[in-house]
Every structure is written in structure tokens, then in C-alpha cells.
Structure 1
Amino acid sequence: MNHEDTTTHVVAQGTFDLLHPGHVHYLRDAAAMGDRLTVIVARRENVTHKQPPILPNRQRRDVVAALDAVDDARVGHPEDIFAPIEELRPDIIALGYDQHHDEAAIEDELARRGVECSVRRASPRDPEYDGELLSSGRIIDRILEERA
């Protein structure tokens, strides 16, 4: 018997340096968009829009993979950030609320490569209490302020 797969596969991606509650919110939100969540952790050498991550690729992947919302985590492709998407063929790409990505540009590239999936944004997560840090960069800044 041939059963059609009706599982909705979601892919999320990010740097995930110094995991914080904002990351957890993003990945829970992404997981809620479907039935299976795969996370692609950006390679250090591919992070060009901000300071490169402090933690090694594999360590960041392993920490993300340990989260309950995540079914699978992998380190991104060394040269082509769309290669894992072509391989995985997800139904949805979930972007973080404040990630720098341009949805239209992603959709255009996916169409060019023959990958049919939607691109959605996760919801924002406001700090739950005064002083809660929802940014790896802010966490690093606070460590430098208080410990340097």
C-alpha cells in the first residue's frame, strides 16, 4: 500500500550562539507550524551579518538538538545555504521574528531551485521580566560589562 506523507516538515535556521529564551520561543513557535522541526545551525564561517558565533558549530548544533521542540538539528552547508533546503524539501521555512532575512528573496530563490515551500515569521517574544536578555550579543555585552 502506498500512503502519501501528510507530515508537515518545518525548517528553522539561525546562529544559536549562547542559547537564550528568545531562541527557545522561536523554535517552539516554528515547531507549532508543523509536525516535524529540523533546525539548520549556521556555520561560523557563513555568519557575515553580525559578529561570528563564540561557540563551535557542533556545540551549537548539539545544544539546539537537545531542545524538546527540535526533531533534528544539523550544521549548514559550507558554501550554499540553500543546499540543505533542497535536500530536506520542507513544507515551511520558519524565520525568527527579528532575523535579517528577506522573505521575498528567499521565496524567489526557492522558486528558482524548484523548491515549493512557504516562508513564515515566528511571533515576537517580549521580555517576561525587567532585565531578561533575548539576544546573544546583549548577553555577551553584559558579561563583558560585569566580568571584564
Structure 2
Amino acid sequence: MEILKEGDTAPDFTSVDQNGKPVRLSDFRGKPVVVYFYPKDDTPGCTKEACNFRDNFSEYQKAGVKVLGISVDDTNSHKKFEEKYQLNFTLVADHEKKIAEKYGVLGDRNAKRVTYLMDRDGKIMYVYPKVSPDEHAVEVMKKLKELKMVQ
């Protein structure tokens, strides 16, 4: 399956977060959502990207933006990753690889590093098909403002 494109409606999904709590994309309708797929918990690039979202999370909270990090790792792996780096946003477990497949980001064994920006109605407004993890959270917030999705 191909990567989703701007203008597509983001496919809904149901899974669990790092605490085992249910997560449905449709629960966040009414607010902008950043869904970022990443290959694997606690690897160098994925850690940089997650910590960049962690360090900029207060700006996302103030703007009312929900951040969801998704990989094919399971809940236990996500919980360890969250605790080790004091992550302050939702990590979604996709160990059955169904979400990554729906979004066209499933690689050989892991999700590819792709980020989707969704508006309040679940429409994809912007896609980052290639991501540099170092300052990605800053880049995403800048794009959210540029697209007038946030103040």
C-alpha cells in the first residue's frame, strides 16, 4: 500500500497506549493531531525524535494538539521507552502492524519514519514522507502554524 496523501481522510484505528489504555484516533476529532510513525523504541534516531517531542510538548499542549507516536513495538516496550526518557505523550502499540499497514508506512519489519498532520475533522493536511529526527517536533509545530491549524 502507498503512503497516504494530503487531502485523504486518516483511517481510524483502535489500539492501546503504553499504559494499556484504549486509544482510538476518532476520540481526538475536534483537535489537530500529529501521528508520527517510527521504527523502534529506544534506538538512536527514534529516541532523538521522541525526546524532541517531549522537550517541545508544552507548546503542543497549549495549542491543543494531540501527539501520537506509533511503532510496531508492544505495550511493554513502549512503557519502558516512556519511563527511560520521561516521555509525556501517547505511544500507540501496533504490534500486529495493522495501523502501519493502513497508513502505507509498513516496511519489512518495522514502520517507516513518516509523520502525518491531521486537522480537527481527521483530514490529512500535511505528510512528512522522510523525517530528520533531530528537530522534527519544532519543524512540525512550525508547519501547523503555517497551515493555520494552530495559533
Structure with more strand by fraction? 2
Question: Structures share a fold, TM > 0.5?
Answer: no
TM-score, normalised by the number of residues in structure 1: 0.38
Higher RCO (C-alpha under 8 Å, 6+ residues apart) = 2
TM-score under structure 2 length normalisation: 0.38
